[in-house]
């Protein structure tokens, strides 16, 4: 993300290159894709002596070089790292290879009562309907990889404790 022989560039170009690289790393820790405007703002927020023009120029260079990829369709105006796309492709390939290849641990009809008993006896809680459904999916799936998705505070971590106990 920082060009080779950067030391031969001017002060503003060096600052812009470092600010954009730091902003890409920072935003990439949070999300796989980010708005180009958020990248520029994050780069400026580092407080290095770089102008918006130089930051936009560096973002354009990284896009032209393929280090950053532009979003298409509904994601127009968004960017992602090329290596993030490659990682996603590898993950999706592994997920596809793991579909239907393992036996289920518990039948779906038995998983709910087992989860509730584990949650209640071991952790003093009752799983809500969404948590129980996610636990049934984990325990009865024949897929090697099962993902549970939910907003912060939805109870994903709480669900995993009784599920892990059954595993």
Tell me the pLDDT band of 24, cut-offs 50, 70 and 90. Answer: very high
pLDDT confidence of 30, banded at 50, 70, 90? confident
Structure pTM? 0.69
Kindly write down the DSSP assignment for every residue of 13-51, as one continuous string: HHHHHHHHHHHHHHHHHH-SEEEHHHHHHHHHHT--S--
Report the C-alpha gap between 10 and 20 in whole angstroms.
15
Beta bridge partners of 80: 33, 69
**Cα separation values, 167 from 25, 105, 106, 144, 148, Å:** 36, 8, 9, 14, 16
Give 57-109 pLDDT, tens digit per residue: 999 999 999 999 999 999 999 999 999 989 999 999 999 999 999 999 999 99
Mean pLDDT of 28-38: 94
- At residue 166, does pLDDT exceed 90? yes
In tens, the pLDDT along 99-149 reads 999 999 999 999 999 999 999 999 999 999 999 999 999 999 999 999 998
pLDDT, position 44:
97
């Amino acid at each position: 993300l920082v060009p080779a022989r950067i030391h031969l560039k001017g002060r503003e170009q060096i600052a812009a290159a470092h600010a954009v690289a730091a902003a890409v790393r920072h935003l990439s820790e949070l999300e796989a894709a980010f708005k180009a405007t958020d990248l520029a703002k994050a780069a400026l927020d580092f407080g290095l002596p770089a102008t918006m023009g130089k930051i936009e120029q560096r973002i354009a260079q990284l896009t032209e070089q393929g280090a950053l990829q532009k979003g298409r369709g509904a994601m127009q105006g968004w960017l992602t790292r090329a290596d993030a796309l490659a990682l996603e492709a590898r993950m999706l390939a592994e997920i596809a290879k793991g579909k239907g290849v393992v036996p289920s641990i518990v039948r779906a009809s038995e998983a709910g009562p087992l989860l509730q008993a584990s949650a209640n006896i071991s952790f003093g809680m009752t799983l809500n309907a969404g948590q129980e459904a996610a636990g049934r999916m984990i325990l009865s799936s024949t897929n090697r990889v099962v993902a549970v998705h939910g907003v912060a505070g939805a109870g994903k971590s709480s669900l995993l404790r009784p599920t892990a106990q059954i595993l």
